[in-house]
Amino acid sequence: MFAGFDEGMVEVARGVRLRVRQGGAGPPVVLLHGHPRTHTTWYRVALLLAAGGHRVVCPDLRGYGQSDKPPTTADHSPYSKRAMAADVRELMHHLGHERFAVVGHDRGSYVAFRLAMDAPGLVTHLAVLDSVPIADALDRTDARFATAWWHWFFFAQPEKPERAILADPDAWYGGDPARMGAENYADFHQAIHNPATVRAMLEDYRAGLGVDRAADEADRAAGRRVSCPTLVLWSSGDDLQELHGDVLSVWSPWTTDLSGGPIDSGHHMAEDAPEELAAQLRRFLAGRPH
């Protein structure tokens, strides 16, 4: 797994180090995983992008996997997408990349989006996978959304989700080593059995319903948009289109240069359809950045 990539820890803020793997040569792209995965979810896609001529950087997000888990606060801002985006910005600066593409899946897509909004001069291309902006998802919440994505609201409750998950992490999260790959599964399995990681992952969701939503709403009120080319992809086997209809129309007000469509995959597309995902990303990244 990750043949030819280097692994290490990089300090990105006081008390926060990210575990990161990097490899390949060429225009840099950083890949941001979702919940409850670690950076190893990208192992197939990362190799394909590196073989296609990219320097590929894969961190564990703050709180996830083997990255550090700083103390939280009453408003959960240490786990905001703004804080996580600042981590990625510092990581890429530390690695010598002043401009770079960013790809995010699931919760990582919110970090990627926030990075493109907060630091537009740094991001050459933005790809968001399996998401609509947090503010839009919450604005559109109805019985169908609450039934399908109930975990957003359960995870925001104090203490109870930790107790429920840690009672039997394997039953809660599932995971199949034959489908995920043995080493990827082992990394994920270790993470979900770490109480500190589980608590940090829940802090991500708690921030989502508060400070992250407020950040989206402030940008929308100010008319701010992503200024770089943006690719939106979603899994045909997931429920994003069922819940939100035309996914591109949801993203259109947030962007200036938008493309995208579905991928024949389950939710974890980097594991289920790595070749198709990598091919779409390579085509997109080959386009001229703004």
Please give the share of the chain, as a percent, with pLDDT higher than 70. 99
Model confidence, pTM = 0.97
What pLDDT was estimated at residue 287? 86
Q: Is the pLDDT of residue 213 over 80?
A: yes
Over range 208-236, report the average pLDDT. 97
Per-residue pLDDT of 157-182, as tens digits, reads 999 999 999 999 999 999 999 999 99
pLDDT digits (tens, 9 = 90+) for 120-158: 999 999 999 999 999 999 999 999 999 999 999 999 999
Predicted pLDDT of residue 290: 59
Q: Is the pLDDT of residue 10 over 80?
A: yes
- With respect to CATH, is domain 6-285 assigned 3.40.50.300? no
Half-sphere exposure at residue 102, Cβ-oriented, CA atoms within 13 angstroms: 31
Q: Check whether 220 has a pLDDT greater than 70.
A: yes
Q: Is the pLDDT of residue 288 over 80?
A: no
In the structure, what pLDDT confidence band is assigned to residue 103 with cuts at 50, 70 and 90? Answer: very high
Which of 68, 106, 130, 219 is catalytic? The answer is: 106
Q: DSSP of 150-185, one letter per residue?
A: THHHHHTSSSHHHHHHHH-HHHHH---HHHH-HHHH
Q: Which residue in 35, 118, 239, 267 is the catalytic one?
A: 267
For the question of residue 267 being annotated catalytic, the response is: yes
Give domain limits for the chain.
Answer: 6-285
3-state secondary structure 217-253: HHHHHHCCCECCCEEEEEECCCCHHHHHCCHHHHHHH
| Percent over 90 (pLDDT), the chain | 98
Q: Look up 106 and say whether it is catalytic.
A: yes
Return the closest-CA partner of residue 45 out of 235, 97, 54.
Answer: 54
